[in-house]
Amino acid sequence: MSIIGWWLGAASVANFVASMVLEIVAVWYPEFEIHNWHQYLIYVCLTWISVAANVFGSAWIPAFNKMLFVLAVLTLSSTMLTLFIVSRNNHADASFIFGDATSRTGWSSNGWSFMLAVGNAVYSFLGSDCSAHLCEEIANPAKMVPRVIVWPLLVGLLTAFPFAVSLMYSITDLDAVFNTSAGLPLIEIYYQGTGSRVAASVLLAFFAFCFFGNLVANGMCYAHLKIWIT
Amino acid sequence: MTQSNLQEVRVDDLELEAAGYHRAMPRRFTFWALAALSFDLTCTWLGTGSSVGISLTEAGPAGTLWSLVIAGGMTMIVSAGMGELASAYPVAGEINNKVHLFVVGSTLIVFQVRSIIGLSW
C-alpha cells in the first residue's frame, strides 16, 4: 500500500516538472500548440531519467542530495528576494495578501472550500517519513530518526511560508493567473512579479531542477521500499 | 571513521540483533545527509509553488497562506507520533508491522488501520 503511495507521489512530481518544462516553452513560443501527449512523453522521459540515475549512479546519490539541498536553499532565497525586490513598486496590498479568502470555485460554502485548500496544502508536506524507512542506514537511529523526521518539516514550513507570501506579493492581476494558456499559474506569477520573460524562465528552470532532484530521491526511496517490502 | 564512531555503530548493530533483526544495509548516511534527503523529499516550498493555482482558486491568497500553516501544524503532530514509533523500533519499515500493538479492536479494524497508515505515507 505504501508502495502505491510512493508511486503516486513520484507521478505527481514528474507531472508537475513536465508541465513546468512546457510552461517555459509556452512563454517563449506562444504560437506553439501544446498537446497533452507532449506532457505525457516528457513525464515518461523524466521518470526514465530518474530511474536510470538511481540504477547506474547510485554511488553519487548522497552527494547529489547534499548538492541539491544547497541549491534548493540558494534557489529559494534568490527567488524570494527577486520577487520582493523587483516588484516593490507595483505589488498587491496587504489586505489582499492576508485578508482575501474568497473562493472562486462553485461550492456554495466558503468554509468547505477552505477545508479543501487545507487538504491541498498537505501535498507540500508529504514524504517526510522516508527517514523512517532508512533508519537502518544511520548511526544511533533511536535518537536521530525522530529529529530527521520533525526538523525538515519545521524548516520546510518556515521556508515555505515566506515563499508563499512572496508569491502573493507579486500578483497584480489575479484573473490572468487563473487563465494561463499552459496550465500552471506559477510562471504567470513569476512574470507578473519580475516583468521579464527571461527572469521568469530562469527562476522556473531552477524550480523545475530542484523538483527533478526530488524525483530522483523519490526513486531511491521507492527502490528501497520495493526491495524490503516495508 | 574514528574509534568512537566504530563503537557507536557496533552498539547500534548489537541493539538490532537483540531485537531479533540482522542489519542488512551499510550505515552510510550521516545525520546531515539524511536530513538533506528528507528536506529534498518533503520539498515543502516546491509543493507550495506547484499547487498555488489550486489553492488560489479554492481559498484566495489569505487562504493559501493560512491553510499552509494549518496543514503544517497537523502534519507535525502526526510526525511527532511517527518519530516516537520510529525511535522505538529502529528497523526499516517496522512501524507498519507494529501498528497492531497500538490499536485496540478486532482484526478487521487493525488491518484497515495498518493499511491506511501505510497508504497515508
What mean pLDDT comes out for the span B82-104?
68
Instruction: Mutation target for B interface from A54, A65, A154, A159: give the one with most B CBs within 10 A.
Output: A65
**What angle, 0 to 180 degrees and rounded to 10, lies between the N-to-C axes of helices A61-86 and A141-169?**
30
> Which residue, among B68, B74, B76, B120, would best test binding to A if mutated, counting the most A CBs under 10 Å from its CB?
B68
Does residue A150 have a pLDDT over 90?
A: no
Interface check for A21 against chain B (CB to CB < 8 A): the answer is no
Residues B87-102 have a mean pLDDT of 66
Q: Which of A98-102, A157-161, B39-43, B49-53 has the highest mean pLDDT?
A: A157-161
Q: Report the residue of chain B nearest A117, measured CA to CA.
A: B55
What is residue A230's predicted lDDT score, i.e. its pLDDT?
47
Spell out which residues of chain A touch residue B49, defining contact as CB-CB under 8 Å. Answer: 163, 167, 186, 207
Region class of A63: left (phi > 0), else alpha (psi between -120 and 50), else beta: alpha
B101 to chain A nearest CA, in Å? 17
Q: pLDDT grade, residue A45 (50/70/90)?
A: very high
pLDDT value of residue A74: 92
**ipTM score here?**
0.81
Chain B closest-CA separation from residue A77 CA (Å): 11
Average pLDDT, stretch B28-51?
Answer: 80
The helix (run of H) or strand (run of E) holding residue A89 is none
A68 near B33, Cβ under 8 Å? no
The alpha carbon of A185 is separated from its chain's Cα centroid by a whole number of angstroms, namely 13
Count CB neighbours of A200 within 10 A. Answer: 22
* Mean pLDDT (whole number) for A120-147: 74
Task: Name the DSSP letter for residue B121.
Answer: -
Question: Rounded CA gap, B50 and A19, in Å?
Answer: 10
Please judge whether B87 and A142 are an interchain contact, meaning their C-beta atoms are less than 8 angstroms apart: yes
Smallest CA–CA distance, residue A125 to chain B, in Å, is: 6
More confident residue, A217 or B89: A217
Which residue would you say has higher pLDDT here, B62 or A137?
B62
